C-alpha cells in the first residue's frame, strides 16, 4: 500500500477501506509516514469528509495507537467530560468538584491550551505546587480516596492524536468534523470511562461556528460513544462570547474558586448545573436531571463542592492556602482598563478576539514551546446584553509585557455597542442524546 494513493483516493472523494485507514494511522504513529503526507490526508478529509464507517474505524485505530486504560479498580460508574474548546472555559475545574461532591467518580485526563483556546492543565498549574503528572496508579488511588483527579494525558495515551492534533493545528485542518470527532472520542474511549459528557462549543470562539455543524459534530460523537456501549450525551454551549468573566490561567482559577463558593457568573453556573445534572444521571446517582440539579445546588450551598476542590489540590501537591485565600495568587504588573467609547447595549464581546488578545498578553501559547504567564489575561466586567454609559469599564487587561498595544486594540475591536436593547444567547443551546 502506498500513502500517496490513499491521499489521491480521498482527494477524489472516495471511501477509504478499514485497512487503508489503519495503514495510515499506524504508519504515522510509528514514523514511517511523514508529516507532509498526513497533512495532505487531513486536508483531503477536511474537504471530502468521511462516512460513518470511516469515522468509526479512524476512532478505533487512534484509540488503539497506544495504551488503553483500565479503570476497573475504581468502584462505581466512572464519568468524564470533554469540551471541544473555548475561551474562559474553566468548566472542568468547577464541575469536577461539584459532581465528585455528589458522589460521582471523575478520573479526568486533560490537555493544554493552544492558540486562542485555554487548557485545563495550564489553568491548574497556576496553583503553586500543583502536580498534574501523576501515574495511572496514583490517579486510580486518588479517585478511590476522594472521588476526583484531573491529570495530564499520559504520553502513551493515543499517541496518534498527539501527533495528528499538533499537525492539524499548524496546517489549517482542525475544523473537520470527522477529525475532531475521532480525536475527542479516541481519547475518551482510551481513558477508560463508562460515561461521557461532551461539551460542544459553538460560536466565534469555537471550532464550530454555527449550530448546524455543532449539531452534526455532537451527533457524530454521541453515535460513536453509544455504538461502543458508553453512555454519551452532548451539550451544545454558546461560545460567541467568553464563558464567565475571567480569561487567563490564574484569573480563571480565582473565578472557579468563587463559583464553588456560590459566587459564580450566571452562564458558567448554568453550564455546570446542566452538564453536572446529566453526569449524575449517567452515574446512576440521581434518577432525573431535576433531582440532580437540586443536589448540585446543595453541594455549592453547603460548601462541600469547594472542599472537594481543596482535597483535590492537596492530593496533587498544590498550595491549598492559595485556594482558601485567592488574593495570594500572583498578579501581573500592569492592569489596563478598557472603557466604553459610547453609551448603549453591548452587542458583541467576540470570544475569538478576546482569546487571541489574552494569548498576546501572555496567557497562551502560539507554539507548544512558548512559556505561559499565569497571571496574564482579561477580566470582563461587562458582557453581551449589558447597558453601559460612555466611560464605563468594559474590561481590564492584565500583563507583564511592555508591548501590549496590539492586544488592547484587539480587545477594543472585540466589543460592539449599539443603541437597541440586546439579549445574550442562552449558554445552553441544545442537548443531543
Q: Which residues bind ligand URA (CB under 6 A)?
A: 84-85, 165, 174, 179-180, 183-184, 207
Given the residues 123, 134, 168, 429, the one annotated as active site: 168
Q: Which residue has the cell 440539579?
A: 293
Given the residues 10, 78, 82, 134, the one annotated as active site: 82
- Nearest-approach distance from CB 182 to ligand URA, in angstroms: 8
Q: Is 168 a catalytic residue?
A: yes
Given the residues 60, 80, 161, 199, the one annotated as active site: 161
Half-sphere exposure in the Cβ direction for 297 (13 Å, CA): 8
Q: Which among 255, 234, 128, 145 has a CA at the least distance from the CA of 184? A: 234
Q: Is 161 a catalytic residue?
A: yes
- Nearest-approach distance from CB 184 to ligand URA, in angstroms: 5
Q: Which among 45, 428, 433, 432 has a CA at the least distance from the CA of 202? A: 428
CA distance 238 to 3: 39
- Nearest-approach distance from CB 76 to ligand URA, in angstroms: 26
Q: Is 187 a catalytic residue?
A: yes
Cβ atoms 173, 43 nearer than 8 A: yes
- Nearest-approach distance from CB 124 to ligand URA, in angstroms: 17
Q: Which is nearer to ligand URA, 183 or 332 (CB)?
A: 183
Cα-Cα-Cα-Cα torsion 240, 245, 246, 252, nearest 10 degrees, comes to -100
- Nearest-approach distance from CB 85 to ligand URA, in angstroms: 5
Q: Which is nearer to ligand URA, 191 or 399 (CB)?
A: 191
Given the residues 123, 134, 187, 383, the one annotated as active site: 187
- Nearest-approach distance from CB 415 to ligand URA, in angstroms: 27
Given the residues 38, 183, 237, 332, the one annotated as active site: 183
Residues in the chain: 433
What does the angle CA 39 – CA 41 – CA 47 come to, to the nearest 5 degrees?
Answer: 105
Q: Which is nearer to ligand URA, 237 or 250 (CB)?
A: 237
Q: Which is nearer to ligand URA, 89 or 241 (CB)?
A: 89
Q: Which is nearer to ligand URA, 83 or 249 (CB)?
A: 83
What does the angle CA 144 – CA 89 – CA 256 come to, to the nearest 5 degrees?
Answer: 60
Q: Which is nearer to ligand URA, 182 or 313 (CB)?
A: 182
Q: Is 238 a catalytic residue?
A: no
Residue nearest ligand URA, CB atom distance: 183
Pick left, alpha or beta for residue 148 (phi over 0 → left; psi -120 to 50 → alpha; otherwise beta): beta
Residues recognised as catalytic: 82, 161, 168, 183, 187
Amino acid at each position: 500500500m502506498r500513502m500517496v494513493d490513499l491521499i489521491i483516493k480521498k482527494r477524489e472523494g472516495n471511501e477509504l477501506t478499514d485497512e487503508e485507514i489503519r495503514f495510515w494511522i499506524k504508519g504515522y504513529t510509528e514514523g514511517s509516514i511523514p508529516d507532509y503526507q498526513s497533512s495532505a490526508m487531513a486536508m483531503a478529509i477536511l474537504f471530502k469528509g468521511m462516512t460513518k464507517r470511516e469515522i468509526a474505524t479512524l476512532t478505533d485505530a487512534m484509540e488503539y495507537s497506544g495504551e488503553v486504560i483500565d479503570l476497573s479498580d475504581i468502584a462505581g460508574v466512572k464519568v468524564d467530560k470533554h469540551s471541544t474548546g473555548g475561551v474562559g472555559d474553566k468548566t472542568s475545574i468547577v464541575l469536577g468538584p461539584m459532581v465528585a461532591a455528589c458522589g460521582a467518580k471523575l478520573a479526568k485526563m486533560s490537555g493544554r491550551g493552544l492558540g486562542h483556546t485555554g487548557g485545563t492543565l495550564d489553568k491548574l498549574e497556576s496553583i503553586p505546587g500543583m502536580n498534574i503528572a501523576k501515574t495511572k496508579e496514583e490517579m486510580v488511588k486518588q479517585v478511590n480516596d476522594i472521588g476526583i483527579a484531573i491529570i495530564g494525558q499520559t504520553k502513551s495515551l493515543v499517541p496518534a492524536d498527539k501527533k495528528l492534533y499538533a499537525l492539524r493545528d499548524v496546517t489549517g485542518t482542525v475544523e473537520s468534523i470527522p477529525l475532531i470527532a475521532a480525536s475527542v472520542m479516541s481519547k475518551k474511549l482510551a481513558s477508560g470511562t463508562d460515561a461521557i459528557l461532551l461539551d460542544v462549543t459553538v460560536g466565534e470562539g469555537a471550532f464550530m461556528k454555527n449550530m448546524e455543524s455543532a449539531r452534526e459534530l455532537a451527533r457524530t460523537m454521541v453515535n460513536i460513544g453509544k455504538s461502543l456501549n458508553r453512555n454519551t450525551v452532548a451539550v451544545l454551549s454558546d461560545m460567541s462570547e467568553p464563558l464567565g468573566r475571567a480569561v487567563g490561567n490564574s484569573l480563571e482559577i480565582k473565578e472557579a474558586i468563587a463559583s464553588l463558593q456560590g459566587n459564580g457568573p450566571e452562564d458558567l453556573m448554568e453550564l455546570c448545573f446542566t452538564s453536572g445534572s446529566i453526569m449524575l444521571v449517567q452515574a446512576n446517582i440521581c434518577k432525573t436531571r431535576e433531582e440532580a440539579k437540586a443536589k448540585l445546588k446543595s453541594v455549592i450551598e453547603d460548601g462541600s463542592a469547594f472542599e472537594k476542590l481543596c482535597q483535590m489540590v492537596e492530593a496533587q501537591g498544590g498550595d491549598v492556602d492559595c485556594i482558601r485565600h485567592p488574593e495570594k495568587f500572583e498578579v501581573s504588573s500592569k492592569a489596563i482598563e478598557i472603557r466604553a467609547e459610547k453609551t448603549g447595549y453591548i452587542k458583541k464581546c467576540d470570544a475569538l478576539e478576546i482569546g487571541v488578545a489574552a494569548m498576546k498578553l501572555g496567557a497562551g501559547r502560539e507554539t507548544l514551546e512558548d512559556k505561559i504567564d499565569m497571571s496574564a489575561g482579561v477580566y470582563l466586567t461587562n458582557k453581551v446584553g449589558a447597558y453601559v454609559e460612555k466611560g464605563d469599564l468594559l474590561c481590564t487587561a492584565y500583563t507583564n509585557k511592555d508591548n501590549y498595544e496590539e492586544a488592547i486594540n484587539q480587545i477594543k475591536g472585540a466589543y460592539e455597542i449599539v443603541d437597541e436593547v440586546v439579549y445574550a444567547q442562552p449558554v445552553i443551546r441544545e442537548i443531543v442524546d
